[in-house]
Structure 1
């Protein structure tokens, strides 16, 4: 049992925790709990067990993470990197994204297994000094989106329920949903559980996540004011249903939250550099939404790379803090 925990359970939980860029098994467990209760509240319990499995975000996350872990073992990857969950979170993201964006079927589960394993291949042969972050996930999910029609995959549709549309209510919900969107989900309860999962690892890191989501949302407001006719009218909340829905989902904040989570855990990274990264990521996310592009975590990855590269060029030499805490 101890061997199973050490070589399978703990690396898998840390891999799920690394979806929020946190190296902590307890965080990963809480994220799975959040996904499990999300499954319970969004699917009919009277459905057959196989149907519930096919629709389960929790199952898809675990399958993606375990597939990535198995491939890492096959490739004889450094044991410490596996133990830290670095060969798990991109696979977990493939599982979450596939189950979030596509109507479930048996083929989708196969794609999650293959995609999860493929992320470890990309990680294994990554040679750039800067962390790949979620680039392996982005590469795989982009190929799945590109081949979706050929594979017979159907994109999901959905509606957003908003009970209140006052400026304060929408802003606060949007900010917390920006944290929940780290797992491509929304909902105040869900997002608060995700935030608490980060708090378990570090209160400071959790505060940065909130700041990142809030600053990202603020950046979107500023851009909507200066962007002229081409911008989204975020100030006229009661008159622009599209803007309300986009903002309420947390889509303006989650890339900022991810940048804050990543950069705040790098020693030697200054606060201005972190906020610059948040601002850049939020701007890219805003432009992507304006152009109706599905960028997912690309603004985060690109912005983090830019900031880290500039800081390294200036000989600040930041180092990611990767000590195991879970």
Structure 2
């Protein structure tokens, strides 16, 4: 039976949008993206509208600017906008200002990403990952604080449960969910299934990253409420996924997990929300070190 045609513009847009959701976890599988969307619907349905608005805006701007269609099709001009929509919907109540901020920031994320990708391909820059989201997120959160805008009412945090095998499993799932600001273990399970659908090895490393980050945080006595909510697992999860895809040696993602965890507390000292910057810095450090090592080996071989 021949595959269903996807040449219709509406189907192409839907596929690109779903790939944008998948690209949050460095995947380009629309089925994975659908499960990421479902996880948001399960864990925080009030964030879904902002996520969709951010993803559609960033994709539309990329098309209007004539960015490479292949990049748009695999969701590269969607995930930063989606994350910005999630962040703003989490922090602000739904007022006429909220969609305006989401649309503006999502559009800017595509405008920032495009020249970075050109430099990456032409001049060997390191990948941007979620840096447009982090940079714009910091600026927006600072703006919100300076203007003293009303904030959304945060969900009440549950009391610290007794640690047992089941609770530790739930912490690992929360670590997956916190990549998209969700603390629901069921949403984390949905994300894990989506990653398994895209690539079983990626799903395994995501589990390793989340469990390692949370376990190390608990071992070193960092705030238990944050550790049990999965807040020390999500950067380690992303670092594990990226570095396991790029390097076959398991030591490399292990180093990335450790770096992401060690870098995260520093942002609190700076008065900045960590967002996904520890993951970005960990991957940049590992990739830059690997590149320098390869260049040094080539120089030694040629001398």
Aligned partner (choices 15, 40, 44) of residue 35 of structure 1: 40
| CA RMSD, Structure 1 to Structure 2 (Å) | 2.1
**Contact 2:214–2:228 at 8 Å: present in 1 too?**
no
Cα distance between partner residues in 1 of 2:135 and 2:113: 11
Structure number with greater CO (CA < 8 Å, separation at least 6) is: 1
Distance 1:314-1:156 versus aligned 2 partners, 3 A rule: farther
Is residue 70 of structure 1 aligned with residue 60 of structure 2?
yes
Residue correspondence of structure 1 range 73-112 to structure 2 within 5 A: 73-112=63-102
Could you tell me which runs of 5 or more consecutive residues in structure 1 were left unpaired when the two chains were aligned: 41-55, 225-231, 233-242, 317-326
User: Which residue does 2:109 correspond to in 1?
Assistant: 119
Q: Give the alignment's TM-score, normalised by structure 1.
A: 0.81
Cα distance between partner residues in 1 of 2:19 and 2:144: 30
Q: Secondary structure at the match of 1:65?
A: helix
- Using the TM superposition, give the Cα deviation of residue 214 of structure 1 relative to its aligned residue in structure 2, in angstroms: 1.1
Is residue 279 of structure 1 aligned with residue 258 of structure 2?
yes
User: Which residue does 1:11 correspond to in 2?
Assistant: 16
Post-superposition CA distance 1:189-242 (Å, at most 9, x none):
111011111111011100000000111122223433xxxxxxx3xxxxxxxxxx
- Using the TM superposition, give the Cα deviation of residue 163 of structure 1 relative to its aligned residue in structure 2, in angstroms: 7.5
Q: Secondary structure at the match of 1:87?
A: coil
**Contact 1:220–1:286 at 8 Å: present in 2 too?**
no
**Segment drifting more, 122-131 vs 150-159:** 150-159
User: Which residue does 1:300 correspond to in 2?
Assistant: 279
Is residue 259 of structure 1 aligned with residue 264 of structure 2?
no
Cα distance between partner residues in 1 of 2:224 and 2:166: 11
Post-superposition CA distance 1:264-298 (Å, at most 9, x none):
112x4521111111100011124445777411101
Post-superposition CA distance 1:38-81 (Å, at most 9, x none):
345xxxxxxxxxxxxxxx31111111011110111122111111
Cα distance between partner residues in 2 of 1:247 and 1:39: 20
**Segment drifting more, 142-151 vs 306-315:** 142-151
User: Which residue does 1:21 correspond to in 2?
Assistant: 26
**Contact 1:252–1:286 at 8 Å: present in 2 too?**
no
Distance 1:293-1:118 versus aligned 2 partners, 3 A rule: closer
Distance 1:137-1:28 versus aligned 2 partners, 3 A rule: same
Is residue 58 of structure 1 aligned with residue 38 of structure 2?
no
Q: Give the alignment's TM-score, normalised by structure 2.
A: 0.87
Residue correspondence of structure 1 range 180-195 to structure 2 within 5 A: 180-195=177-192
Cα distance between partner residues in 1 of 2:180 and 2:156: 18
Distance 1:137-1:153 versus aligned 2 partners, 3 A rule: farther
Q: Secondary structure at the match of 1:86?
A: coil
Cα distance between partner residues in 2 of 1:196 and 1:101: 28
- Using the TM superposition, give the Cα deviation of residue 248 of structure 1 relative to its aligned residue in structure 2, in angstroms: 1.6
Cα distance between partner residues in 1 of 2:50 and 2:192: 21
Cα distance between partner residues in 2 of 1:60 and 1:6: 21
Cα distance between partner residues in 2 of 1:186 and 1:255: 14
**How many residue pairs get matched?**
283
**Contact 1:65–1:88 at 8 Å: present in 2 too?**
yes
User: Which residue does 1:229 correspond to in 2?
Assistant: none
